[in-house]
């Protein structure tokens, strides 16, 4: 009985914080398209990997994907940290919210958003994540990453925006058309987190609800 009371004591403040995050907020920037007009609050769910959604994968790749999901979750916290209308939850917090609810991934995500009175929910899948082997001047394995994301309306389930990022850094000699990109990276080999950060900034800036 005491154990149940302690768990309840921890969960209630957490739920109140999340509800406060999704109620009564308005976006700092006005929406630029009519289809975005009703999206004022967004909940960002933890990144999932292919292994977590029942697609076959090797043990090595599973470890890479798990590391990638953890890294992207951290990058999401950083990216959305100054956006009051967007709340990022951790895997542990998601477990508290999930309870015994069983459904497909999209419906599960929407259920969490509706329970928290959020207008939309962001789900992300990491498909590849390989760390750079070497340093910024010489590598035996360049950074490589791929992820998909989808922003869903909590009530209707419609896709508000979506996108895919897929890149393995190449040397300038391998891709003569990448001069501008190489210059932006100062002609250095970047890390996998840096590569993912570029992907987040590139795609989320085209989706007004995810961009400040």
Q: Which two tokens stand for residue 65?
A: 């994907």
The whole-number pLDDT of residue 48 equals 93
Q: What is the spatial distance between Cα 183 and Cα 177, in angstroms, rounded to a whole number?
A: 12
The whole-number pLDDT of residue 61 equals 87
pLDDT above 90 covers what percent of the chain?
Answer: 50
The whole-number pLDDT of residue 104 equals 85
The whole-number pLDDT of residue 55 equals 55
CATH placement of domain 2-210: 3.30.160
The whole-number pLDDT of residue 178 equals 61
Enter the pTM of the model.
Answer: 0.78
Q: What is the spatial distance between Cα 212 and Cα 82, in angstroms, rounded to a whole number?
A: 8
The per-residue pLDDT for range 80-118, each reduced to its tens digit, is 999 999 999 999 898 888 766 667 889 999 999 999 999
- At 175, phi and psi to the nearest 5? -140, 95
């Amino acid at each position: 009985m005491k154990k149940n009371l302690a768990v309840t004591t921890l969960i209630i403040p957490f739920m109140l914080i999340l509800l406060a995050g999704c109620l009564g907020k308005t976006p700092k920037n006005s929406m630029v398209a009519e289809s975005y007009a009703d999206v004022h609050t967004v909940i960002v769910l933890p990144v999932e990997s292919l292994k977590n959604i029942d697609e076959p994968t090797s043990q090595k790749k599973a470890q890479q994907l798990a590391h990638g999901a953890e890294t992207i979750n951290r990058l999401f916290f950083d990216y959305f940290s100054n956006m009051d209308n967007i709340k990022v939850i951790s895997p542990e917090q998601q477990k508290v919210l999930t309870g015994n609810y069983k459904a497909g991934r999209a419906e599960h995500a929407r259920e969490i958003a509706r329970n928290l009175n959020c207008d939309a929910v962001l789900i992300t899948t990491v498909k590849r994540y390989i760390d750079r082997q070497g340093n910024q001047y010489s590598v035996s394995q360049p950074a490589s990453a791929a992820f998909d994301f989808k922003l869903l309306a909590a009530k209707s389930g419609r896709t508000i925006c979506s996108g895919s990022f897929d890149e393995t850094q190449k040397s300038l000699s391998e891709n003569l058309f990448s001069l501008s990109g190489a210059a932006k990276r100062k002609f250095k080999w970047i890390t996998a987190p840096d590569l993912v950060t570029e992907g987040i900034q590139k795609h989320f800036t085209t989706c007004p609800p995810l961009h400040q």
